[in-house]
Amino acid sequence: MTDEFRVLSPTAILGYGFPESSFRKGMERKPHLIAVDAGSTDPGPYYLGAGKAFTNRAFVKRDLRYMLREGVKNNIPVVVGTAGGSGASVHLEWCRQIVLEIAAEEKLSFKMGVIPADVSKETVKKALGEGRITPLACVPELTESLVDETTYLVAQIGPEPIIEALKAGCNVVLAGRCYDPACFAALPIMLGYDEGLALHMGKILECAAIAATPGSGADCALGILKKDSFILEALSPKRKFTCESAAAHTLYEKSDPYHLPGPGGAINLENCSFTDIGDGRVEVRGSRFEPTPRYLIKLEGARSIGYRSISIAGTRDPIMIGSIDQILAEVKAHIKEMSPEDDRSEQLFFHVYGKNGVMGQLEPLATTSSHELCIVIEALCPSQDEADTLCSVARSTLLHYGYAGRISTAGNLAFPFSPSDIKMGNVYEFSVYHLMDPAGEELFKPIIEDI
């Protein structure tokens, strides 16, 4: 174990991009590892359920080209977590093909470890039957029918399979769905650095320069891990790390400010400290890893729940704005009255931006002060045709609805686009969001290949 271990995090998500100047500055620091988080559940269940990437292929390839070219040339391991955005087998293969293209174009040779994170439905059902699955907060109990309806089912892998691939001599590691800090922490943990510090540093580096100020998801950051601390450093002159920015990002995406759970344990931050050491750098101490009595992994899966169509419209009529809730309720009632034998009014939703479009019923401001509103009409039905019909009827009804006090005799709405109705296709929801005790079963085995 050397005095320090330097990790270059190029971007918050693979495909978000980064300035070449920042990446070059990072390479000048001679990093021991280039690592990047390539996915998230933040974009919602669609991408996992549909097996599609939420990042653009051209920019994923652009980012990876820099990483692979410099990593292989300088014998620096390159680790990618949650490849393809959601980390299922289809996403992993999508990313693998990009790596193969780059290797051929750049004439690169290396050993690569590919780590699938898929968990079979049979394995999950067996664990369910044996009482080894528990729901996360605000999630219903898992059932076999939900498992059956799930399209892709993955688990967040911890550092262990990545360490196995690195020990096998892999220069490049592509992991499926991955605990976000794991791709940054695996190699230093393997080399004997403190697990709590390594994971906490990985927690911050997984979002790269978002954790600096001003934050950016499209810029690089450097983490320097030491025996009893780690240092965060921005790689652009436009940014710096502060105690506030580092602490704020430590709190990011956490329900408990002092504990960050992950596979097999949690990072305890009760004695964590942040110190400004000058030149836009922050040193962090006191993080420690605490194993849980049982090694638990988080399962993620999504299922189809129907088809969606939307229409986007605006209004600037103060009379309509003042009575918007009543008007929308009357429109829904009118649609129900027009098709009593096939009532789909409960599958119709209005999202009113400028009033409570972001927070919905949780919005604390009761009155609308906007001079204009954006109304997103959403129809969610069992088939695309049914969704198209409901959206069309709702749009035309609202467009010409004669609400109390209306002065104009023409349309109530302004449409920014023609055609006004947009087919959104298949809709997914998270069907599996649970913890599983694998009971010692080895689920994530690296596949080693020579490129």
The stretch 441-451 carries a mean pLDDT of 95
Residue 425 pLDDT level (bands cut at 50, 70, 90): very high
The stretch 385-392 carries a mean pLDDT of 96
What is the pLDDT, as a whole number, of residue 155? 98
> Taking 80 as the threshold, does the pLDDT of residue 436 lie above it?
yes
Residue 254 pLDDT level (bands cut at 50, 70, 90): confident
Q: Which residue(s) pair with 7 in the sheet?
A: 33, 223
The stretch 203-227 carries a mean pLDDT of 97
> Taking 90 as the threshold, does the pLDDT of residue 368 lie above it?
no
Cα–Cα distance between 439 and 295 in angstroms, integer?
Answer: 8
Residue 2 pLDDT level (bands cut at 50, 70, 90): confident
Say which residue the tokens 């049982």 belong to: 294
The stretch 381-403 carries a mean pLDDT of 96
What is the pLDDT, as a whole number, of residue 161? 98
Q: What angle do CA 450, 47, 354 make, to 5 degrees?
A: 145
3-state secondary structure of 401: coil
Element (H, E) at 396: helix 384-399
The stretch 192-200 carries a mean pLDDT of 98
Convert the pLDDT of each residue in 156-174 to its tens digit: 999 999 999 999 999 999 9
Cα–Cα distance between 330 and 397 in angstroms, integer?
Answer: 10
Give backbone dihedrals phi and psi of 200, rounded to 5 degrees, phi first: -65, -45
What is the pLDDT, as a whole number, of residue 373? 97
Question: Within a 10 A sphere around the Cβ of 228, how many other Cβ atoms?
Answer: 8
Convert the pLDDT of each residue in 102-114 to its tens digit: 999 999 999 999 9
The rounded Cα 118 to chain-centroid distance in angstroms is 17
Residue 341 pLDDT level (bands cut at 50, 70, 90): confident
Which has more confidence, 253 or 62? 62
What is the pLDDT, as a whole number, of residue 293? 93
Mean pLDDT of the chain: 96
Q: Token digits for 376?
A: 């997103």
Q: Are 323 and 404 in contact (CB under 8 A)?
A: yes
Cα–Cα distance between 170 and 281 in angstroms, integer?
Answer: 32
Q: Which residue(s) pair with 429 in the sheet?
A: 303
Residue 342 pLDDT level (bands cut at 50, 70, 90): confident
Q: State what percent of residues in the chain have pLDDT above 70.
A: 100
Cα–Cα distance between 262 and 296 in angstroms, integer?
Answer: 8
| Of the candidates 48, 63, 57, 51, the residue with the CA atom closest to the CA atom of residue 14 | 63
Residues 6+ apart with CB under 8 A from 123: 441, 443
Q: Token digits for 412?
A: 């109530």
Q: Which residue(s) pair with 307 in the sheet?
A: 381, 426
> Taking 90 as the threshold, does the pLDDT of residue 345 lie above it?
no
Which has more confidence, 252 or 65? 65
| Of the candidates 30, 28, 24, the residue with the CA atom closest to the CA atom of residue 2 | 30
Q: Are 175 and 117 in contact (CB under 8 A)?
A: yes
The stretch 188-209 carries a mean pLDDT of 97
Cα–Cα distance between 272 and 356 in angstroms, integer?
Answer: 38
Q: Token digits for 229?
A: 């601390």
Q: Token digits for 287?
A: 């993080």
The stretch 55-75 carries a mean pLDDT of 98
Q: Are 301 and 432 in contact (CB under 8 A)?
A: yes
Cα–Cα distance between 55 and 87 in angstroms, integer?
Answer: 13
Q: State what percent of residues in the chain have pLDDT above 90.
A: 92
Cα–Cα distance between 17 and 23 in angstroms, integer?
Answer: 10
